[in-house]
């Protein structure tokens, strides 16, 4: 069984400041890792994912996340946030094992609040 | 591409009535669709996995007679909340796994806000 811990339920930050949203996971097998973003009253949108290869993955809107196997972490970062980044961010992990269902387990979410 | 729609986006119903929520993959075929429930300020809870042409697989604690799922085609799955009660009020989100793509891929619908009065 796998689990995901998002250590911060809410992260307030000023516009143009850097931000890090933390995510740790536990799993007995290799995993796929995802970050999703949810704007108010909307579904989830995939922000970025780690499947294999380079441990640093980037999105088109400036976010990046680094897979750290030894620390079992997949923290999300952005060097300079915008007001429009205000949203709920969910980290998710999916089991890569053969025969696994690949159904992701989601963290509780981190609310990113960007102040002007 | 890979758009998933849900209808309705918002519904209010009276206690004791049934409500049907549709989930459609608009530009791809989906072998598997998933139904999630999300409480305010909380994460998504998987309710059931729906495979086209077969019975849905429900997660532990989810009443299959209350949450009826039908996956009649490769582009449509429906969730019917039967005899709804106020505690069923929630945000329901579906996702779809595209036919032929990696098993980890799924695309989410915009969600349906159900309010039972």
Give which of A42, A44, A46, A52 to mutate to test B binding, by max B Cβ within 10 Å: A44
Residue B103 pLDDT > 70: no
Cβ-Cβ contacts under 8 Å, A93 against chain B: none
Residue A98 pLDDT > 60: no
Please indicate whether, in this complex, the C-beta atoms of A101 and B49 are within 8 angstroms of each other: yes
Please give the Cα distance from B29 to B9 (Å, whole number).
22
Give which of A43, A92, A97, A98 to mutate to test B binding, by max B Cβ within 10 Å: A43
- To 10 degrees, the CA torsion angle through B27, B42, A106, B23? -20
Q: In chain B, where does DSSP find H-type helix?
A: none
Alpha-carbon gap: A61 to the closest alpha carbon of chain B (Å): 19
A44 CB-near residues (< 8 Å, 6+ apart): A36, A37, A38, A90, B44, B93, B95, B108
Q: How far from B37 is each of A106, A113, B20, B62, CA to CA, in Å? A: 12, 24, 14, 11
Please indicate whether, in this complex, the C-beta atoms of B104 and A94 are within 8 angstroms of each other: yes
Q: Nearest chain A Cα to B4, which residue?
A: A43
Residue B16 pLDDT > 90: yes
Cβ-Cβ contacts under 8 Å, A98 against chain B: none
Phi first, then psi: give them for residue A70, nearest 5 degrees. -65, -35
Q: How far from A39 is each of A43, A61, A84, B71, B81, CA to CA, in Å? A: 7, 15, 10, 28, 25
Rg (CA), chain B: 13
- How much is the mean pLDDT over chain B? 90
Give which of B2, B104, B106, B107 to mutate to test A binding, by max A Cβ within 10 Å: B104
Q: Nearest chain A Cα to B37, which residue?
A: A43
Residue A65: Cβ within 10 Å count: 27
Please give the Cα distance from A37 to A109 (Å, whole number).
9
Q: Please state the separation of Cα B50 from the chain's center in Å.
A: 9
pLDDT band at A102 (very low <50, low <70, confident <90, very high): low
pLDDT band at B1 (very low <50, low <70, confident <90, very high): low
Instruction: For residue B43, give the nearest of A94, A102, A109 by CB distance.
Output: A109
Average pLDDT over residues B96-107: 77
Please indicate whether, in this complex, the C-beta atoms of B104 and A41 are within 8 angstroms of each other: no
Q: Give per-residue pLDDT as tens, B60-92.
A: 999 999 999 998 899 999 999 999 999 999 999
């Amino acid at each position: 069984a796998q689990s995901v811990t998002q250590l911060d339920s809410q992260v307030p930050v000023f516009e143009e400041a850097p931000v890090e949203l933390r995510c740790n996971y536990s799993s007995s097998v290799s995993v796929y890792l995802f970050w999703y973003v949810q704007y108010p009253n909307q579904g989830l949108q995939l922000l970025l994912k780690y499947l294999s290869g380079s441990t640093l993955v980037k999105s088109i809107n400036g976010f990046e996340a680094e897979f750290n196997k030894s620390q079992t972490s997949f923290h999300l970062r952005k060097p300079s946030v915008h007001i429009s980044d205000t949203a709920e961010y969910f980290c998710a992990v999916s089991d890569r094992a053969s025969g696994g269902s690949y159904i992701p387990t989601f963290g509780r979410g981190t609310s990113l609040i960007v102040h002007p | 591409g890979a758009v998933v729609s849900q209808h309705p986006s918002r519904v209010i119903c009276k206690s004791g009535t049934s409500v049907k929520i549709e989930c459609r993959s608009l530009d791809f075929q989906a072998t598997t669709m998933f139904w999630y429930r999300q409480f305010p300020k909380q994460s998504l809870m998987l309710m059931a996995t729906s495979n086209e042409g077969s019975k849905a697989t429900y997660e532990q604690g989810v009443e299959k007679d209350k949450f009826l799922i039908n996956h009649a085609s490769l582009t449509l799955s429906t969730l019917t909340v039967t005899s709804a009660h106020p505690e069923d009020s929630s945000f329901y989100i579906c996702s779809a796994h595209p036919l032929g793509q990696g098993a980890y891929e799924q695309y989410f619908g915009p969600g349906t806000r159900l309010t039972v009065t």
